[in-house]
Every structure is written in C-alpha cells, then in structure tokens.
Amino acid sequence: MASSDVKPASSPSLPELSLPDWQATYDTLHMWTQIVGKVRLEQCPDINHWWGIAFYVTASGLTTSPIPYGNRSFEIRFDFIDHKLLIETSGGDVSELKLEPQSVAEFYRKFMAAMRELGINVHIYTMPVEFPNPIPFEKDEVHASYDAEAVGRFWRILQWSDAVFKEFRAGFIGKASPVHFFWGSFDLAVTRFSGRPAPPRPGADPVTAEAYSHEVSSAGFWPGGNGVDGAAYYAYAAPQPPGFAEYKVKPGAAFYHPQLGEYLLMYDDVRRADSPKEFLMQFLQTTYDAAATLGKWDRKALERPVA
C-alpha cells in the first residue's frame, strides 16, 4: 500500500479529569510551576499585560522559552510525557530533575541547586501568589503529591486546547495575546483587544491594573476550584458591557457564573460532545460576539474576513 493510501488513526477521545481525584497533585504542580515562573519573572523584561512571564505549550509539556542571563540564556521545560524538568543553557549544559512525589520544599531545594550548578544564580520571592493559605516554597512540606497519570491527562487537555485556541485566535487581526499559560492562576488563556484603553478599575492592585489597562475579550481553560467543581473553559469581557450576562451564547451547556463574572463551559460537556472542537469553538466565538457586539468594537477592522 502506498504511503498516501494510509489513513491517519482517529484522534483519541479526550481524557477524564476528576478534580477531587487529582486535587493534591494539582496543588503541588501549581506550586512547582510558580517556582519556575518566578525565575522567569525575575529575569525577563516587562511586557504589557504580563505576557513576558507566561509559559507556552510544547510537544511534551510547558516551557518558559529562552530566559536571558547576562550574555547567555537558559530555558526551563516541564516534560509531562517522561515526567522530568529540564534546565538547558545556551552553552549546551543540561540539568534534569525527576517529576515525582516530593514536597514543594524538596523540589525548591533541588531546583535551586541545579540552577546554581549550571552557574545560574537567581533569587526569587518565595511566597506563592493567587493561592489560598500560601506557604513559602522553602517551608512547604504539605503539598507533596504527584500522580503522573493524572498529570498526563491534564497535559493532553492542555495540548488539545492550545491547538483549538490558536485556530480561534487566527480569525482576529487586531491586537491579541499569544496562547499562553499563566502559572499564577494556572490557566491557559488567549485574549483579544478592542484597541481602546479601559476605564481604571477602582481599587485595583498594580498587577490587575496593568492586566486590564485596555478593553479585552478573554477565554481560557482552567482545572477548576473556587466553587467550580471541575475543569472548565471560561470567557469574560473586561470591562463587562451592559447585557453581557444575558447574551445568548452557545452551546446550550454554557452558562454565566455570577460570582466569577464570566461564562463557563464545563470540560466534561466538551469531551462528551459529538464534535468537541466544534462545541468549544461555538463557545469561544459566541462569547467573543457578546463582548464585541455589546462593547461596540470595530469588528470590521479587527476580524479576518471569512473566506
């Protein structure tokens, strides 16, 4: 049979991801990503809306992308297939750490020691952010779980979502963020901008004020928490235009969460759909429609014409 006659294997179904079953691992991994993320925060130049600190999805996990260090650079990668952390320098040196059950404090010690052995000395603020009851990394013996199978399932969802988000992003020719992973809130996100400054947020801290200095329509994937009992896709507008919460978004499984101030589409509803990609695309498009139409964005100038 000619190679051109070989049909590609059908795409594997999206995996289950029960929040209670992997909550302990989720919390531990969240802290590990924050340790690595804070290195990127210390070393990289400030980019608007905190784009300069995020991670990016790779073929095997997440990466910081190259981080400057004097006249050289280094990159830190989470490999969720072989379950290891790699620190690679522009000089060709590499250090590896196993991702396995261990406390945050132990991971922090091993990671910082590996950095020093590579000649990289970076001091970070060791208090976690955007996490309830934070414990300094060097003292955290509470979070110590690592279920490799659960992390693999989470990774598969990230990889699939990243591809869908990138396709959605391609329909917009205005200012838009990369598809990137924020280690503070532990979510994969993509954001579109109207091009107009946003009104100042009363009482906003400097981080929030910078993040929402301009009008946005944002969407993403998040493993859940804060009263959301499972992984979910989310979408919101900032500032939120009148009528946004009542807009008729699709698919029918989507709903507006008044406490969060955003629309949610539960991941389980997506993975069970006949066409998960089409199901999610409906959510991304109609929630953007709500933000852009009600917010009176210049859609003709911002959107790629449909062929």
Tens digit of pLDDT at every position of the chain (307 positions): 343 343 333 446 999 999 999 999 999 999 999 999 999 999 998 888 888 999 999 999 999 999 999 999 999 999 999 999 999 999 999 999 999 999 999 999 999 999 999 999 999 999 999 999 999 999 999 999 999 999 999 999 999 999 999 999 999 999 999 999 999 999 999 999 999 999 988 888 888 888 889 999 999 999 999 889 999 999 999 999 999 999 999 999 999 999 999 999 999 999 999 999 999 999 999 999 999 999 999 999 999 987 6
Entry pTM: 0.93
- Residue 95 and residue 116: Cα distance in Å, rounded? 11
User: Look-up: residue for tokens 């910078």?
Assistant: 210
Tokens coding 41? 């925060």
**Rounded distance, CA 29 to CA 17, Å?**
15
Task: Tell me the helices (H) and strands (E) count for the chain, helix number first.
Answer: 7, 12
Side-chain-side CA neighbours of residue 150 (13 Å): 20
- Measuring CA to CA, how many Å separate 135 from each of 35, 41, 148, 286? 12, 19, 24, 40
